[in-house]
Structure 1
Amino acid sequence: LLKKFQVAAQAHFVAVHMQEAGGKNFEEFTVQVPGMVEKIAFRMNCLGYTIGRAYLDLDFENVDQYTALGSMYFFMEVLYSRIEQYDFVTHEYSRLNKGFEMMEKEIDKCSKIRKKKFPKDFWPRMKWGRKGYMHSRFRFNNQPIDIVNVHLFHDDSNIALIQENPLMYSENRKRALNYVLDEVSRNCIKQNDTPLFIFGDLNFRLNCLTFLNRITEGADIRHDSLESFGSLKDSAGSSNRLGCGNILSMPSDHLKRSISAVEFRKTQDSLEDRNNCVLRIEKKRFDYINHKQLLNEWHQYLEDDREAKNFPMLFELPIHFPPTYPWSEDPTESGSFMKTRAPAWCDRVLMNSDAFQLVNSDNDAKYDSIGKIVCMGDHKVIIYFLAIDVIY
């Protein structure tokens, strides 16, 4: 894939951002990451990238600082005399030596990046995870460019979006990303004219209310409650016409705590017939009657992707690719969504106005996902091609 897209783009500079380096079972597989990165660096060198740097946060035993982020940067020989890297301690730029260097030990002491894990008080209701950001800065022909690898908070519960607050998780992501923007701004040499690119797993999700109304039109809604012994039962008198507000406005606090599932069932059929369920939502289950339709007709709900609008100071190229999440992790079903979450464009490339001006000057800029027909985990990788005049 690296060779294919390098040839297609004829890129002089390649930035690769990873989240969850080491995978979900990071305690077992993190040890394999450096070897994988070395292999990537070797292949990139064979393609002409004689300068490379990798910054890997792999010390999962350092719980207070661990983010599992990894950032890799590769430069063609032609950039040797034109590329410099910023030191966040000395506040000076220096030329990059040829060769590949990988920083994985005591990464928090590395002055070439700024890495932070989001504070605990950002999300006190959830288990403190590995979310955070990693900031790098380079200068191309005296033009500084900020590059930030970000992993924002996910939606912990599908049910909470319906019964409590459909904005509870997006508001938390908004707070976290604004924190990142403030930190980058605080460490900028030039406050107003430094292009900034932010890319990673931003975990942006569809607007819950508009999306559910769209895919369950004409259905009735019903919830299940949890008994004291943990079994499910249908709650009497719980059916309503479609509208998440019906659940959001339920008056009983006890009922809110006890809801374990929500179903949307066809109006013309008996509400007691589970075979006529259009959509069943549980904490970590999103079981739609036609998942293939969700995959094939994603253009119809792209307008429900609104979370990026929470950041009017950031810009993005138009999206012309399917949702990047949640894809099947089964290699035999690599072209299907998992029935865990609603589809979403979690993985994004955003930029400030200065960066957007550079991008707008390139009519051939490309924003896409890759690996659409192969298994790459539950997220598809986003790739972004652009030509910036200052590099050449």
Structure 2
Amino acid sequence: MNGDSSRRQRLLLMTANVGSLFEEGQRLQEPWLDVISKRILSEDADLSVIHMQETGGKRYVECSGQVPVLIEKLADRISGTYPLCRAFLDLNYTSPAYTALGSIFFVHKHALSLVEQFDFARKQFVPLPTANSVEIRADGLDNESLAVKRKFPKHFWPAIKWGRKGYLHTRWIVDGKVLDLINVHLFHDESNLALIHENPSLYSSNRKRALDFVINECVLDNDDDSSIHRFIFGDLNFRLDSKTFLNRLTEEAEPHPMEDLTTHGSQDLLKDGIAFRNDINQTENLRRTVSAIEFRREDGESNENCVLRIGRKVFDYENPYKLQTMWETYLQDDKEVDNFPELYEMPITFPPTYPWSEDPLDSGVFMKTRAPAWCDRVLMNKTAYESMEVETSVYESIGRHTCMGDHKPVALAISLL
């Protein structure tokens, strides 16, 4: 395919953890479809992409059947402008390689002849259908030639008995520009307490190992990295630096473990408001004895003096409204992306994407389960970053004032020079 080198290729790349959408009442699906379809139509990009994580939600056995229907509804809403939809959905929850990932691609009517997809088996790009079509590929995805899906190896996180984290890789060419589009779902923080009384890099280290694995796996033989525009976008589960963030919130408070630690000789674990220790035996004892830690104002014993309460799945700050309005202050605690100096990102100018309330009547607040974080990201390699037309690039969260589930989708709209 020979493209016009002077033409700018417009891309809309979105990532959305959709686990909250799939439930018996399906109450969030219509608002989600409305916001996403309007965003796609407003951009008018050559190629619009949605990387989904947690398709089917927590009740995937009962709800996985809702996923193709959701995609068909979205395709129907935008079919006048985007007549071609191709989706790769990992819905086989009985497979040991199940990831619950979904990658959906919409091709603009003016770009049908400009877009081809890479066939990994044939090792060549192949044309797309030129007629209107909605292709949903959900069967046999483990052997799909147009996409590579992998679940992370078990040894990456041996403590988890069963997980569905992994990646889904597709490669495209749009008017002469080669695009690697990699859907990634990295490991989450299983316990808030682990970030206080265990190694604070426990989870981030595993995320780094997993993402390094993805980057390495997606480089094919004979690839010239300088000619491939590689985009990695998904629920990367990046979290704030626990020490700097918690000290910011609790600078006038002292930590109080909710259980007696003296019998284990562990009082020395609490330092500067936050505890760090790598002693395995001690942390095992703590895991059994500490149910929560409260940061209280000095000499405060009552609930009114509690600034912050942290439990395994509890993060209850005294002023939740402040968490939503002061996000620019603690954005500087978002440091995990620095573990990947070979990847680039547009400046973040939007509030944390997680954990928003899943209640449509109360969707403008964070849930009291986790610390706020920019989990959902769009990263890219140097080739892609240096090919962007900066003046027309937009990096944003979507559905700020709509209940989209516990994650706000994130979009990057760019033109490639």
TM-score where L is the length of structure 1? 0.91
Counterpart Cα distance in 2 of 1:340 and 1:45 = 39
2:168 aligned counterpart, secondary structure: strand
Residue 7 of structure 1, CA deviation: 4.0
Find out whether 1:72 has 2:104 as its counterpart.
Answer: yes
Counterpart Cα distance in 1 of 2:312 and 2:113 = 53
Match of 1:362 in 2: 390
The answer (yes or no) to whether the contact 1:222–1:239 under 8 Å persists in 2 is no
Find out whether 1:286 has 2:315 as its counterpart.
Answer: yes
Counterpart Cα distance in 1 of 2:311 and 2:176 = 53
- Structure 2 runs not aligned, ≥5 long: 1-34
Match of 2:113 in 1: 81
Which sits farther off after the overlay, 112-121 or 73-82?
A: 73-82
Find out whether 1:339 has 2:372 as its counterpart.
Answer: no
Residue 236 of structure 1, CA deviation: 11
2:208 aligned counterpart, secondary structure: helix
Letter of the 2:291 partner, please give it: S
* Aligned equivalent of 1:259, options 270, 290, 293: 290
Counterparts of 1:1-392 in structure 2 under 5 Å?
Answer: 1-46=35-80, 48-62=81-95, 64-98=96-130, 99-186=133-220, 189-225=223-259, 242-245=272-275, 252=282, 255-257=285-287, 258-267=289-298, 269-270=299-300, 272-359=301-388, 361-389=389-417
1:15 aligned counterpart, secondary structure: strand
1:386 aligned counterpart, secondary structure: strand
Which sits farther off after the overlay, 34-43 or 341-350?
A: 34-43
Runs of 4+ in 1 over 4 A off after TM superposition: 235-241, 246-255
Cα RMSD, aligned residues only: 2.2
- Structure 1 runs not aligned, ≥5 long: 228-234
Distance 1:252 1:11, change over 3 A: closer
Residue 237 of structure 1, CA deviation: 7.0
Distance 1:243 1:51, change over 3 A: same
Q: Which has the higher contact order (CA 8 A, sep 6+)?
A: 2
The answer (yes or no) to whether the contact 1:222–1:238 under 8 Å persists in 2 is no
The answer (yes or no) to whether the contact 2:343–2:379 under 8 Å persists in 1 is yes
Letter of the 2:413 partner, please give it: F
Report the identity percentage: 46
Letter of the 1:326 partner, please give it: P
Distance 1:211 1:259, change over 3 A: same
1:315 aligned counterpart, secondary structure: coil
Distance 1:187 1:57, change over 3 A: farther
1:192 aligned counterpart, secondary structure: helix
The answer (yes or no) to whether the contact 1:220–1:239 under 8 Å persists in 2 is no
Distance 1:327 1:248, change over 3 A: farther
2:321 aligned counterpart, secondary structure: helix
How many residue pairs get aligned? The number is: 378
Counterpart Cα distance in 2 of 1:236 and 1:117 = 38
Residue 34 of structure 1, CA deviation: 1.0
Distance 1:243 1:187, change over 3 A: farther
Letter of the 1:11 partner, please give it: A
Counterpart Cα distance in 2 of 1:266 and 1:241 = 16
Cα deviation code 1:308-356 (max 9, x no counterpart) = 0000000000000000000011111100000000000000000000010
TM-score where L is the length of structure 2? 0.86
Letter of the 2:320 partner, please give it: H
Letter of the 2:394 partner, please give it: K
Which sits farther off after the overlay, 8-17 or 295-304?
A: 8-17
Counterpart Cα distance in 2 of 1:42 and 1:152 = 31
Residue 143 of structure 1, CA deviation: 2.1
